[in-house]
């Protein structure tokens, strides 16, 4: 989650981590405090909820190594695309690992 605390912990590696998350998370962006606030409002407004577990991780659990190869290719989240307009990005976190069958 992109917060002042995570920024201070990552230091100089912050921008690299943000870019990694943008490219690997199925939602194509970094999760932030507004995402948590939105869920809190939903929980407070919905009187029918009696208990649940919510993972506000941008789909990170979906891109675990064992499931990443099955994810579809999505458009590049940047406005101009990494390699120009319309560039695509494969949504998985380990393109450099040779053990991945899709790499």
pLDDT for the residue 70? 58
Contact 41, 64 (CB under 8 A): no
Q: List, run by run, the mean pLDDT of 10-residue segments along the chain (103 residues).
A: 91 93 92 94 93 90 68 53 42 44 44
CA dist 1 and 36 (Å) reads 10
Domain boundaries, the chain: 4-90
Contact 73, 4 (CB under 8 A): no
């Amino acid at each position: 989650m992109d917060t002042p605390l995570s920024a201070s912990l990552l230091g100089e590696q912050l921008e690299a981590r943000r870019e990694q998350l943008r490219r690997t998370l199925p939602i194509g962006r970094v999760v932030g405090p507004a995402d948590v606030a939105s869920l809190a409002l939903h929980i407070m407004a919905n009187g029918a909820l009696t208990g649940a577990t919510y993972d506000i991780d941008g789909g990170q659990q979906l891109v675990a190594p064992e499931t990443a190869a099955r994810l579809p290719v999505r458009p590049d989240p940047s406005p101009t695309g990494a390699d120009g307009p319309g560039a695509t990005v494969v949504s998985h976190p380990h393109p450099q690992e040779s053990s991945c069958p899709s790499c």
